Amino acid sequence: MDGLRKILIVEDDVMIRDMYRIALVDKDYVVEIADDGDSAYQKVKEFHPDCILLDIMLPGVSGLEILKELRTNMVYNCSKTKIVMLTNLAQRNVTENAIANGADAFIIKVDILPKDLPTIIQSLKD
């Protein structure tokens, strides 16, 4: 598989995180997980993901704050990394904020099945 192969899932809900991980590993993606901002920043530095699935509601720092940091702090080298925001908040201002701060896509978790993730990720290719 070429392209967006290395995926970082940043999600604090263990059940959702595991469902997403299994769906992607079953399709031969290389997957790492993080459950909060600190572990996300560390994984980005070590793993260098091609795509990040980033939940908005996380303990401590929000996914929107993580998004801003990843897009503006060159230490993370995420200018070309695809970042997909995940949420159950279908609020227009949240979506607009995420896109304005560099998100490549925005997914409402209840609107997708884990098996849809590979198709969504592949749709992000340049």
User: What is the domain range of residue 69?
Assistant: 6-122
- Dist CA 122 CA 61 (whole Å): 28
111 in a structural domain: yes
**How confident is the prediction for the chain on average, in pLDDT?**
93
- The answer to whether residue 1 scores a pLDDT higher than 60 is no
Q: What is the mean pLDDT of residues 16-38?
A: 97
| CA distances, 46 to each of 76, 87, 92 (Å) | 10, 25, 33
Q: How many helices (H) and strands (E) does the chain have?
A: 5, 5
Span 104-126, average pLDDT:
91
Domain of 46, CATH number, reads 3.40.50.2300
- Please indicate, yes or no, if residue 14 is contained in any of the structural domains: yes
CA distance linking residue 91 with residue 54, whole number of Å: 17
Q: Which residue has the higher pLDDT, 97 or 24?
A: 24
pLDDT, tens only, 54-99: 999 999 999 999 999 999 999 999 999 999 999 887 677 878 888 8
User: Residue 126: which pLDDT band, with cuts at 50, 70 and 90?
Assistant: low
Domains of the chain: total: 1
